[in-house]
Amino acid sequence: MTSIDYAARIPNNVDLAADRTLQRALEQWQPNFAGWWREMGPESSQGYDVYLRTATGIDTEDWTRFGYVKMPDYRWGIFLAPAVKERKIHFGDHLGEPAWQEVPGEHRANLRRIIVTQGDTEPASVEQQRHLGRTAPSLYDLRNLFQINVEEGRHLWAMVYLLHRYFGRDGREEAEALLERRSGDRDNPRILGAFNEPTPDWLAFFMFTHFTDRDGKFQLKALAESGFDPLSRTTRFMLTEEAHHMFVGEAGISRVLQRTCEAMNELRTDDPSRLREAGVIDLPTVQRYLNFHYSVTLDLFGADQSSNAATFYGSGLKGRFDEPKHADDHRLHGETCEVLEVEGSRLVARRVPMLNALNEVLRDEFIDDSVGGVERWNKRIAKTGVDLRLQLPHKAFNRRIGTLAGVKVSPSGEVVTQAQWNDGAPQWLPGEDDRAFVASLMARSIEPGRFASWIAPPATGIDGKPVDFDYVRFG
């Protein structure tokens, strides 16, 4: 095997050059990653020059360097946020003890499981989005898609670094398995549900980056609190990149809404079939996509009552969102909180030990954040004078994980029978005709400054460049 100068090739601040064992492990994994990227990364894009941001360090000017790059040559770097001097574990049963710089033996299996689950989502999302380049609504959007894809690749590298550096042989095996599972595969699927759902079109992509990447934000924030310091430092840096992904989703949907509302005003109608004829996506269809992506993302927080969550917290591996801001003892024995349960045909709130309900606590923080996002979309609609509004469905709607998986609940929170569900579902969730209609709009628009009929241009470009900049050159 030819030896590659990994220290130069992989920008890093973990002193890769000084760690021969780690270098050797990465030397074996890197070609497999490259093979995976060729097979499962963005389709037919290997030769494009893409105006990408590459992180070459952790200071703002270093992680926001832009330039044309062919994606297979992207320099996937390994970065940890700066160490906090004498950092202590600040929650759980080890509270007050020094943060771990090596993996504590008794927590090894749980820690590996968390890192593997996090790592698995990153290549999964690239796989889900690999075909979207074929139908990009503009060069600007195509570039944003590719930016997200390479950064998810970098986030995979971040987790693989932890596995290789801290978990020896079983870490290396897990790193290989991350390249072997496939989104949606029957025999070897990705670990979490939402990462096996297709992302068939750009409306789904924007909803995914708005909601599912937001789960990423909440999970990464919870892991940034970890007593295992390398995990905390890795995820803190990943969070800087996650913000752009959510921006792409939020702004993407906002631009769809803008275009639809303009057409509603021009045609003086809210009739979905007339709007569809005019080549825009009617608001009820946007709402159904929202309902779907929001509900499958809620499932990503896990079961409402989970002994895993209690163990992760108690052992100092995974904290709460902004742990220091919580005004309690950060151990939580004896604390309680409310979760929803089904009683006959009603949903009732029941008090349970908080330690077991930490997935629900994080899910509720995500819900609050999501409410803000929908309010911003509704403001955009209101500005056009259209009086329809989007809404988040009830948190029990369309759930497949946890207590609520066993019950059918309408978007407004009514427990319904199977027959009522069957009647309501076509109004609540995207059906085949919605998907087919949205698919019919998807066509590649790659002339600089041109945008597909169903989406408004953004207010500004990337990195101070104009909206009609040639963000991707096809060579």
Residue 231 interacts with ligand BYC (CB under 6 A): yes or no: no
DSSP designation for 208: I
Q: How many CB atoms lie within 10 A of CB 324?
A: 11
* Residue 148 Cβ vs ligand BYC, minimum distance, rounded to whole Å: 8
* Interface stretch with ligand BYC, choices 4-12, 25-33, 300-308, 373-381 (CB under 6 A): 300-308
Binding of ligand BYC by 241 (CB under 6 A): no
Q: How far is the CB of 158 from ligand BYC (least distance, A)?
A: 11
Q: What's the rounded Cα separation, in Å, for the pair 257 and 141?
A: 16
Backbone angles phi, psi at 87, to 5 degrees: -65, 140
Contacts of 39 (CB under 8 A, 6+ apart): none
Q: Which residues contact 206 (CB under 8 A, 6 or more apart)?
A: 248, 249, 252, 253, 256
Among 161, 202, 301, 397, binds ligand BYC (CB under 6 A): 301
Q: Is 309 in the site for ligand BYC (CB under 6 A)?
A: yes
Size of the site for ligand BYC (CB under 6 A): 25
Q: Which residues, 6+ apart, have CB-to-CB distance to 155 below 8 Å?
A: 119, 122, 238, 241
Distance in angstroms (rounded) separating the CA atoms of residues 351 and 388:
36
Least distance between ligand BYC and beta carbon 206 (Å): 13
Q: Candidates 256, 280, 300, 409: give the one binding ligand BYC (CB under 6 A).
A: 300
**Per CB under 6 A, does 306 bind ligand BYC?**
yes
Q: Does 299 bind ligand BYC (CB under 6 A)?
A: yes
Q: Which is nearer to ligand BYC, 108 or 444 (CB)?
A: 108
Nearer to ligand BYC, 36 or 451 (CB): 36
Report in angstroms how near the CB of residue 193 gets to ligand BYC at its nearest.
Answer: 3
Query: Closest separation between CB of residue 217 and ligand BYC, Å?
Result: 8
Burial (Cβ within 10 Å: 0-12, 13-18, ≥19) of residue 351: exposed
Instruction: Output b/e per residue, 172-192; b: 16+ Cβ within 10 A.
Output: bebbeebbebbbeeeeebbbb
Nearer to ligand BYC, 221 or 380 (CB): 221
Q: Which is nearer to ligand BYC, 402 or 458 (CB)?
A: 402
Site for ligand BYC in 51-90 (CB under 6 A): none
The one among 45, 54, 125, 129 contacting ligand BYC by CB under 6 A: 125
Closest separation between CB of residue 359 and ligand BYC, Å?
5
- Tell the smallest beta-carbon distance from residue 306 to ligand BYC (Å): 3
Indicate whether 193 belongs to the interface with ligand BYC (CB under 6 A).
Answer: yes
CB of 424 to ligand BYC, least distance (A): 23
When the beta carbons of 207 and 286 are compared against ligand BYC, the nearer one is: 207
If one asks whether residue 118 binds ligand BYC (CB under 6 A), the answer comes out as: yes
Helix (H, G, I), strand (E, B) or coil at 217: helix
DSSP 73-90: G----B--PPPPTT-B--
Are the C-beta atoms of 210 and 246 separated by less than 8 Å? yes
Contacts of ligand BYC in 203-222 (CB under 6 A): 212-213, 215-216, 219
* Minimal distance, residue 459 CB to ligand BYC, in Å: 25
- Whole-angstrom CA distances from 279 to 62, 86, 191, 386 are 42, 59, 37, 18
Q: What mask of x and - would describe binding to ligand BYC in positions 373 to 402, judged by CB under 6 A?
A: ----------------------------x-
Stretch that binds ligand BYC, among 8-16, 293-301, 409-417, 425-433 (CB under 6 A): 293-301
Contact characters 356-375, ligand BYC, x per CB under 6 A: ---x----------------
Contact 164, 26 (CB under 8 A): yes
CA distances from 440 to 279, 284, 434 (A): 9, 17, 10
Q: Does residue 141 belong to the site contacting ligand BYC (CB under 6 A)?
A: no
Determine, following the binding rule CB under 6 A, whether residue 461 of this chain makes contact with ligand BYC: no
Site for ligand BYC in 401-420 (CB under 6 A): 401
> For residues 142-181, which are near ligand BYC according to CB under 6 A?
152
Contact indicator for 292, 429 with CB cutoff of 8 Å: yes
Phi, psi of 193 (to 5 degrees): -50, -55
Q: Which residue bears the tokens 């987790």?
A: 159
- Report CA-CA distances (Å) from 228 to 81, 231, 233, 305: 13, 6, 9, 24
Q: Which part of the chain contacts ligand BYC (CB under 6 A), choosing from 33-41, 121-129, 365-373, 445-453?
A: 121-129
| SS3 at position 70 | strand
Which residues are 350's β-sheet partners? Answer: 339
Return the structure tokens found at 94.
């080890």
Are the C-beta atoms of 471 and 140 separated by less than 8 Å? yes
Output the smallest distance, CB 176 to ligand BYC, in A.
19
The binding site for ligand BYC (CB under 6 A) comprises 114, 117-118, 121-122, 125, 152, 192-193, 212-213, 215-216, 219, 299-303, 306, 308-309, 318, 359, 401
